[in-house]
Amino acid sequence: MAAEVAAVLGLACCLMSAGHAQTRPPVEAFAELPAQAPQISPDGKYFAVKRGIRGRPGIDIYQVDAPSAPPLVFTSDDWVVDGMVWAKNDVLVVYDKKNTAYDSRDGQSLVRPLEDATAILISERKQVRLSAYMRIEDINLEDADHVIASVEGSLFTMDLRAGGQPTRFMKGYRGAKDDSTSKWFLDGHGNVVGRVDATYVPHSDYTAPLWHLTLKAYKNGTWSPLATFEGEVDRGDGVGGLSEDGRSFLRLAPNGVSTKSVTAIDATTGAETKLFQDPTYDVSHLLTDDWTGRVIGYAVDEDMPTFHYFDTAREALQKGLEKAFPGLSVHAVSADIARDKVIAAVTGPRTPASYYLVNRVTHQATAIAASNPGLEPDMLGEVKPYPYAARDGLALHAYLTLPPGRPAKNLPLVVMPHGGPDARDDMEFDWWSQFLATRGYAVLRPNFRGSAGYGRAFTEAGLHQWGLKMQDDISDGVKKAIADGIADPKRICIVGASYGGYAALAGATLTPELYACVISYAGIGNLPEFMGYLQAQYRGSITYGSFEVTRIGDAFDDAARLKATSPALHADNVQAPIFLMHCERDVTVPIVQSEGMEIALKKAHKKVEFIRISGDDDHYLSLEASRLNLLKETDRFLAANIGN
């Protein structure tokens, strides 16, 4: 282990000291699509990296023994690459998506994302299109051709080399309407070991769960119910899979109103035992073995993610990696079956994600991929925690990014509420806020109530608080930065995307005196219309928009409140110029939301600009051209309104 750590440490020191700082990196260095989570093949012969290829998400496949040789490339001009998984030693399955028009039951023309998959047969140098909406559940390594996949709640065997035609392997539970098997557990060798069945529970209390979930173990052809629990509104049951010893199922449990913990459910008796709980932060997710699906550890997102393993050998490797990269978040993202070759990911506040291939036999480490390679730590802004109290006393976490080389005094400030809103910001590298810092702006990213990561009570404190207490939390952070002398009160702009875009527009209409300008990317302007859109999108499903109804409110029962907190209905209150951006074929938040906001602002004779982003029909800025456009236009608008 000492030699292994020394090899990685030597490489890290070498890379971190390379190059010379520039005072202002070019915008293209931030807009570049990042490299993401390389994965190594089961036999350790290949590794694949998701990265930008000609401005679109694509996959490069390399030989481990020849990483500098030209890769096998997969990309598409029509589909957006969404993820990947090794299915065999020489077969990589790539998941992709694209928006597809369809007619709803009542004749409306709507658009939904179509999910698809492609098997890349490396040895045969060909591609096989697989069934839509399938997800591989077990790679079954003893079988050179077949995998087991789930489609609409049932399991199918699929021949990857003969056209990918599915054959039913095991039927899942199908009840009334949306009741179904929501998750399967297999052992990596084609054997089913358990599943979770979900049953919808109608209710009128928006804080109540929507699902009853039953964990069942499968042994000798018999299903045995082990535990029943209430699911969260997003239908997440929290069960990650079997423990490595096979004696229990491990679950990420909500624990009432406290933080999420790791619990073990005995695979025979169903008895549940708590294994770990952090008093402040949720356990963010369980870590699983690439090949068996068994739970091997867990992650906690503190100010930066930390990773913990049950197995002493894995934990020793983790500690070695942390020693090699002090002050950064580091962990193994992939390993071959023998665990002789490991890919480690490294990131930090001023360190874009980089990836290293560690050979644990030869004790050699090789840098294999880097996000934003044109950026170096000393080019970027310092990021630090910025805690404060809301007006009602609730403790809030936020992060402040300062422009490099400038004192934290009387700065132009960009307040940037995150999307979700069931998400959170932390201190990992953030391309948008760091870009703004290099342009001279301080950036405040508040984790307002309703954010994830700080326990169920904190998240539920945001239920039905869009434009109300959630917005107050953002305003209180701005006022704290002013009181501390960090922000120039006359040069503050609120900028956000998705929910953050809504919060930006709400800031313009509910607290117009705070902001000198407003930027919304894909924000929601009219809440009743947005809820109506969700109803049309998911008509025929009893759970249409259930997440949004729980978070925002019902279009009928809560109509008065939704109207009172809809920015497009209060454009007369706006004082600052507003800049809107939206992808034309966004199906998560339709562009009509920004169109309606523009109409309302123009009718009220307010200053507004609107850019429609064509060629990218994603909500998530999946194309490099979209990211570049966003950054350039944000830079221009800020410079004109609060610039230095």
The neighbour count for residue 31, using CB atoms within 10 Å, is 24
pLDDT band at 425 (very low <50, low <70, confident <90, very high): very high
CB neighbour class for 595 (10 Å; exposed up to 12, middle 13-18, buried from 19): middle
Q: 351-359 and 608-613 as β-strands: parallel, antiparallel, unpaired?
A: unpaired
Mean pLDDT within 251-266: 88
pTM of the model: 0.93
Instruction: Decide: 50 and 84 in contact? Cβ < 8 Å.
Output: yes
Give the contacts of 530 (CB within 8 A, at least 6 positions apart): 524, 548, 552, 589, 593
Look up residue 512 and give its DSSP letter. Answer: G
Number of domains in the chain: 1
Look up residue 304 and give its DSSP letter. Answer: S
CB neighbour class for 605 (10 Å; exposed up to 12, middle 13-18, buried from 19): exposed
pLDDT band at 204 (very low <50, low <70, confident <90, very high): low
In a domain, 147, yes or no: no
pLDDT for 21 equals: 47
Query: Mean pLDDT score of the chain, rounded to an integer?
Result: 90
Least confident of 65-79, 368-382, 480-494, 570-584: 65-79
CA separation for the pair 446, 523 (Å, rounded): 17
pLDDT band at 11 (very low <50, low <70, confident <90, very high): low
- Say if residue 70 is preceded by a cis peptide, omega within 30 of 0: no
CATH number, domain with residue 518 = 3.40.50.1820
pLDDT in tens, 123-182: 999 998 887 788 999 998 889 899 999 988 899 999 988 876 789 999 998 887 678 898
In a domain, 566, yes or no: yes
Instruction: Decide: 413 and 444 in contact? Cβ < 8 Å.
Output: yes
Structure tokens at 198: 């979900």
In a domain, 410, yes or no: yes
pLDDT band at 12 (very low <50, low <70, confident <90, very high): low
Structure tokens at 619: 């909500």
Task: List the beta bridge partners of residue 493.
Answer: 414, 517
In a domain, 319, yes or no: no
Measured in residues, the chain has a length of 644
Measured in whole angstroms, the distance separating CA 456 from the mean position of its chain's CA atoms is 19
Q: Cα separations (Å) of 184 from 151, 173, 210, 242, 326?
A: 11, 11, 20, 11, 38
Which residue type does 80 have? Answer: V
Q: Is 9 left (phi over 0), alpha (psi -120 to 50) or beta?
A: alpha
Q: Cα separations (Å) of 449 from 420, 425, 427?
A: 12, 12, 18
The neighbour count for residue 470, using CB atoms within 10 Å, is 27
Structure tokens at 18: 């390379």
Q: Nearest 10 degrees: CA dihedral of 490, 491, 496, 500?
A: -30
pLDDT band at 115 (very low <50, low <70, confident <90, very high): confident
Least confident of 191-200, 274-283, 338-347: 191-200
Which string of DSSP letters, residue by residue, matches 158-202?
Answer: EETTTTT-EEEEE---B-STT-EEEEEEE-SSS-EEEEEEEEE--
- Say if residue 421 is preceded by a cis peptide, omega within 30 of 0: yes
Asked whether the predicted pLDDT for residue 199 surpasses 80, the reply is yes
Residue 449's domain comprises: 381-642
In a domain, 59, yes or no: no
Which residue type does 594 have? Answer: S
Element (H, E) at 482: helix 469-483
Instruction: Decide: 413 and 478 in contact? Cβ < 8 Å.
Output: yes
Mean pLDDT within 500-523: 98
Least confident of 1-15, 42-56, 92-106: 1-15
**Half-sphere exposure in the Cβ direction for 608 (13 Å, CA):** 24
CB neighbour class for 85 (10 Å; exposed up to 12, middle 13-18, buried from 19): middle
In a domain, 337, yes or no: no
Asked whether the predicted pLDDT for residue 386 surpasses 90, the reply is yes
pLDDT in tens, 473-503: 999 999 999 999 999 999 999 999 999 999 9
Asked whether the predicted pLDDT for residue 17 surpasses 70, the reply is no
In a domain, 451, yes or no: yes
Instruction: Decide: 210 and 544 in contact? Cβ < 8 Å.
Output: no
In a domain, 594, yes or no: yes
pLDDT for 234 equals: 45
pLDDT band at 37 (very low <50, low <70, confident <90, very high): confident
Radius of gyration of the chain (CA): 25
- Which carries the bigger pLDDT value, residue 309 or residue 104? 309
Asked whether the predicted pLDDT for residue 447 surpasses 60, the reply is yes
Asked whether the predicted pLDDT for residue 98 surpasses 70, the reply is yes
Q: 166-170 and 154-159 as β-strands: parallel, antiparallel, unpaired?
A: antiparallel
